[in-house]
Structure 1
Amino acid sequence: MKKNFLLIIIGCFLIISSGCTNPSTPAGHEGYVKENPRVWGKGGFRGAMKGPANYGVSLWRNEVENVDMRPQTYPESFKILTKDELNVSFRFQTIIKVKPGTIKTVVEEFAGKDFYQRYIKEPLRSMVRKNVQNLESREVKEKRKEISEAVLKEIKEYLKETPFIVISGVVGNIDYPDVVTKAVEKKLAAKQLLDEKATQKEIAKKDAEIRIEEARGIAEAQKIINSTLTKNYLQHEAINAQLKMASSPNHTTVYIPSGANGIPIVETIK
């Protein structure tokens, strides 16, 4: 009899234990605790938890759905046909967070932790496409800031009455087709060549100016020399040169045109 009673007690304990749960919520999350009845009970929302927290052991089978309330980055890749019929690839990254204390609304009205996939992703992608497809391909990079601001304004308006806060949205990693990339590279190479030619032209111009100034200097020097070279001065210089050669140990015979009294003749050639 005692043995049967003990078995009954153990059996009851196992049944009760299998029906007990201890839901918990990690840090940075909020938890939506709900009853998930197996045999009896009405089920439904039991309470909210802000992590880190533990709901405690309960007799009924309570479960928790945790949602990360911290800012999260949601990247989306695009390949959009622009106005000039070129496919431009880029990424649009949005940072979104969930308002604290809204876990019940998030789970019951916005699909819980799947809120981005179910409620935000496709509307956001439509907004990005709308703001890009009417631009020329080259304008996508030039107007990336304007595109980001326009999409950010629209998505904030779309989520205005929801538990979600949009922190930022930016266009990044823009890739053009090979034909566009090669055209840009060719244009840059041509511009570099033109800049180089312009530099060479300036150098040649400066060199010409230097040569002109040198010629002017030589002309002025010759003019000064010609005005000071008198006959007497030239005869004096010739005599000094003759004396230097005469005193040189390596001289042999020196022939110098001379006039009266052995003085070198200096005549002005007309």
Structure 2
Amino acid sequence: MNKPLTLKTIIKPLATIVTLTITSAVLTGCTNPNTPAGEEGYVFEQPRIFGVGGYRGSLIGPSNYGVSLWRNEIINIDMRPNTYTENFKILANDDLNISFNFHAVLAIKSGSVKEVVEKYGAENWYIRFVRETFRTFVRDEVQRYDSVALKENRSKIAESVEVKLKEYLKSSPFQLRNVVIGNINYPEIVAIAVEKKLAAQQLLSEKETQKEIAQKDAEIRIEEAKGIAEAQKIINTTLTPNYLQHEAINAQLKMADSPNHTTVYIPVGTNGIPLIKGTK
């Protein structure tokens, strides 16, 4: 026989259901936001039933916010320096299409995670606040130069972009550490022309070297000729008749002591210098 429904029999199951619901909400609603090393966390609440929500605090990693009853969540922002690379294909001042990369090393000031999230788009801060301005500065500088002059002025271009970007970021939580231009790639026709120019310069350098060698050789020959002429001049001034007679007498004395008797001396020359005739 069914028992009649009473207030007690109705309230007891409802109390059990409410208790289980609250317990489940407590167990599933608890969170423990944490932030890894090198990052800062923006803790905020997304309430399901109670609470006003919004910003709850910041964390500097590595750390935990602690277990909370409500739906506290966290957005972690990497504060360490990171390299952001932009690829460019720009018309230089002489209307040649130049391809290259430009790298910027950026970091975020410590303690500024709340500002980064609420004003600059959280994880998207680079795309929303920095990227297009950075690209504009690069384009403006590159287009001032002819294509051939770009490589020669790459340091100057990087310095100019760095100055402008630092000024732009001065009042923001973002810090520019360095900017670097990557490889500059010319169109194929320009690359071929540059190679030919370098080859021609190399050949010209070789020709200049050969010319210098030839000039040195000519100078050496001139000096040798001068030396021979000077020697001949000295010999001509010293070949006096008395000297020649003295030399002839010495030659005769040497030959007289020689076992070779096939030579006859006839002293009928000038100043007694003999005419020499060989006999068989």
Q: So what's the TM-score if we normalise by structure 1?
A: 0.84
- Is the CA contact 1:235–1:265 (under 8 Å) kept in the aligned structure 2? no
Q: What is the one-letter code of the residue matched to 1:135?
A: Y
| Kept in 2: contact 1:72–1:96 (CA 8 A) | yes
Q: Does 1:58 align with 2:46?
A: no
Matched, 1:259 2:272: no
Query: Would the alpha carbon gap of residues 259 and 32 (structure 1) be closer, same or farther in structure 2, given more than 3 Å must change?
Result: same
Give me the whole-angstrom Cα distance separating, in 2, the residues matched to 1:64 and 1:252.
127
Contact 1:71/1:96 (8 A) holds in 2: yes
1:161 maps to a residue whose letter is S
Measure how far apart 1:150 and its partner are: 3.0
Which residue is 1:236 aligned to?
246
- The counterpart of 2:218, out of the listed 199, 208, 213, is 208
Aligned-residue RMSD, C-alpha: 2.8
Equivalent residue, structure 1, for 2:85: 75
Corresponding residue for residue 199 of structure 1: 209
SS of alignment partner, residue 76 of structure 1:
strand
Q: Is the 8 A contact 2:248 2:274 kept in 1?
A: no
Q: Structure 1 stretch 217-226 or stretch 44-53: which is displaced more? A: 217-226
* Code of the aligned partner of 2:121: A
> Which residue is equivalent to 1:131?
141
| Worse-matched range after superposition: 205-214 or 85-94 | 205-214
User: Equivalent of 1:106, from 108, 116, 131?
Assistant: 116
- Give TM-score scaled by structure 2 length: 0.81
Counterpart CA distance in 2 for 1:7 and 1:241 is: 148
Q: Structure 1, residues 108-163: CA drift from partner, whole Å, max 9, x if none? A: 11111221022211221122122223432123223323322332233233333322
Q: Which runs of 5 or more residues in structure 2 are unaligned?
A: 1-12, 276-280
199-208 vs 91-100, which deviates more? 199-208
CA distance in 1, matches of 2:225, 2:144: 64
Q: How many percent of aligned residue pairs carry the same amino acid?
A: 56
Question: Match of 1:186?
Answer: 196
How many positions carry a matched residue from both structures? 260
Shift of the 75–257 alpha-carbon distance from structure 1 to 2, 3 Å rule, reads farther
Note the C-alpha offset of 1:200: 2.0
| Residues 47 and 258 of structure 1, relative CA distance in 2, 3 Å threshold | same
The alignment partner of 1:105 has SS state of: helix
In terms of mean alpha carbon deviation, does 219-228 or 232-241 score higher?
232-241
- In the TM superposition, residue 186 of structure 1 has moved relative to its aligned partner by 1.7
Consecutive unaligned residues of structure 1, counting only runs of 5 or more, are none
The one-letter code matched in structure 2 to 1:64 is: I
What's the offset of the Cα at 1:66?
0.8
Asked if the contact 1:75–1:92 (Cα under 8 Å) also holds between the matched residues in 2, the reply is yes
Corresponding residue number in structure 1 for 2:53: 43
- Provide the secondary structure at the position in 2 that maps to 1:89: strand
- Do the aligned partners of residues 87 and 255 (structure 1) sit closer, same or farther apart at CA in structure 2, a change above 3 Å counting? farther
Amino acid at match of 2:267: S
* Whole-Å separation in 2 of the counterparts to 1:225 and 1:140: 68
Query: Residues 85-164 of structure 1: matches in 2 within 5 Å?
Result: 85-164=95-174
Q: Which moved more, 1:100-109 or 1:116-125?
A: 116-125
Name the SS for the 2:263 alignment partner. coil
CA contact (8 A) 1:37 1:61 kept: yes
Could you say what secondary structure the match of 1:161 adopts? coil
Residue by residue, what CA displacement relative to the aligned partner does 1:214-234 show, whole Å, maximum 9, x if unpaired? Answer: 222222222222222233432
Check the 8 A contact 1:256/1:264 in 2, yes or no. Answer: no
Which one-letter code corresponds to 1:35 in the other structure? E
Q: Deviations over 1:2-47 (max 9, x none)?
A: xx99999888655422211111112221110011223443321110
Assess if the C-alpha contact under 8 Å between 2:265 and 2:274 holds in 1. Answer: no
- Is the alpha carbon distance of 1:139 and 1:259 closer, same or farther for their aligned partners in structure 2, counting shifts above 3 Å? closer
Where 1:182 maps in the other structure, the secondary structure is: helix
- One-letter code of the match for 1:259? V
Q: In 2, distance between residues paired with 1:38 and 1:64?
A: 16
